[in-house]
Chains A and B, each alone.
Chain A
Amino acid sequence: MGVRAEGSPSVNTAFLNRKNGAWLNRLSAAFFALLGVGVIYVLGKAFVDNPSVFTQQVMNGLQLGFIYALIALGYTMIYGIVKLINFAHGDVFMVGSFTSFYAIATMNLHRWPARLWPSMSEGLVVLIGTITVILLSMLVSGILAIVMERFAYRPLRNKPRIAALITAIGVSFFLEYFGALPFVFSNNYITYPRPFEVVVYDAGTIPPAAMIGMWVLFIVSVVTYIVMLVMGKKGNAAAQAWARHPLLQFGMLFGGFLAVVLTLAGVKIEVGGKVWDLSASNVMLVIMGASIILQVGLQYIVTQTKLGKAMRAAAYDKPAARLMGINVDYVIASTFALGGGLAGAAGVLYATAFKQVHHLMGIIPGLKAFVAAVIGGIGSIPGAFVGGLIMGETEVLAAGFISTPMRDAIAFSMLIVVLLVWPQGIFGEPPGEKV
């Protein structure tokens, strides 16, 4: 390397100068824009050709998206508070699936109410049994996440961030291949016994009262929300607080999504002489319902409880949080517990949908949920929800109408497409605001 005067131009750096970089960026933007147009064309054509099948696929995409959203919440919360991408999060999800597998297959836990009260109605038994299985999986996964944080991440908290990141990869491999041991989960694909039988609902089998109820819930919540927003704008502090309240979010999300899905499946739709053949399974409804309840529950904890406010405070400024008397270690452990718990619930829902468990099953859903969190803006809870739905829809629509083997490639390229438009993710905050 020759000696060169400070700042003098050279052939090497000219190659890397910003103009060329900008040109390449525009090229890649144009490429993805073109790809986007192509995708929209293919999907649009699929919709026009067969609207019924297309709509059914969108509903199936929702089912998957709601599961990704639950997993993505854990990534986003943990990143928000310790700036760590917890690569082992997908494996916590896997452990959640296996917990429910053992609970159902060997302990028959999903039938416990029937054993205790043989006269209980079947519907109630299934409901209570399923909730119990989900809660157990959440508990086990939450504890696993706490243990992980305590022994793998906390000792590295004041070390360079890369150390914890690599440790996370190590923890991930540990869980995956510890699970592969014959006396743990084994390395077989195991058929998963659902906690309830599948029932498919379509026109005629969904009571109109259910649909109407959901629409009423949705409309009442939306109207209340708008009223509170308007009153809040005029300076009414109580209304401002209500506009942010998770109860309204619950009404809008639960009511809205279920109203649409139930109506699509339950009402006979006829367009141009052709009858749409849409259906919703109880698995789909349970996944959507459980996912929304858990997400809104999380919102409730984060925005309304002392612990949740302490989490947000600590995520923003840890030393200042300590000066408030907040035990930051405890708050971080709680964040891992909540994230792990949600992943555990997602594990039960995923296994119920796909009827199979395996010790490596967490890798791909974990990665997709991670991408979902980044798409939504990592650190943002609504972002995890929206990102999850985007990933679920992309995957299902890509598999259905573009190319089945390419579906994961297409799903992962959503990351590039979205980040081209929103570099911080959809709900991400611009950098430089944090202390």
Chain B
Amino acid sequence: MSALPTRKDEAFRYADLAALAALWPLPVQDIRVAAGETGASAVVLDGANDAAQDIAITLGDGAEYDLRLLNAGSAYGRISVKVTLGKGAKFHLGAAQIAGGEQTAEIVTEVVHAEPDAVSSQVVRSVLGGKAAGTYLGRVVVARGAVGTDGEQSIRAMLLDRTATANARPELEIYADDVKCAHGCAVGELDQQSLFYLAQRGLPPAEAKKLMLHAFIAEAFVGAGEEEALTEAALKALDAVL
């Protein structure tokens, strides 16, 4: 990983290559969790400068990891994560991505179920306004023999403006039998019925929208060790693009 990638590289298809050039090469942050151990961390990109992080997580047998991402800076933000799960390991990702203006924000994951009986779940919530582009590329690979795998992806994006773009691509590569993988992926606008319900009770439209977007983004941090702090930081970023 030394030469700057090109658009032909799937994982960089939507990247802001000009911004990335200044940050390249990215140091890989190596996280290893020994068998039976648990770990957790959160990455928050909420600064004013272009930022990119590359994380590799290796989980031993029965190890557990909880990763939370907030990609909500005011410039280019990219977080890529590669996770390799041992037998019976558990990985959870909760990520929120918020962008406005002409920003590009992206989260790229590759979760490899290398051994049997591992569980992975990913919840990614994006709110995109202005001409921003938000991308989630998420590959789940189930290796040969990794029976009993449970892999789940719940990917949702809300567009605040017609000019914003969401690229959401959950992908499954399964080489084993007896595997439970599910992905839900939706790009949309806020539920009109809910907005009317709130308005009928007297809530002005801007407030109703804000309340619903807060709830939407907060889903990324449910159950996190630092749930409150992460949610608060996300809502602050959200209010800045509303």
Q: Are A and B physically bound partners?
A: no
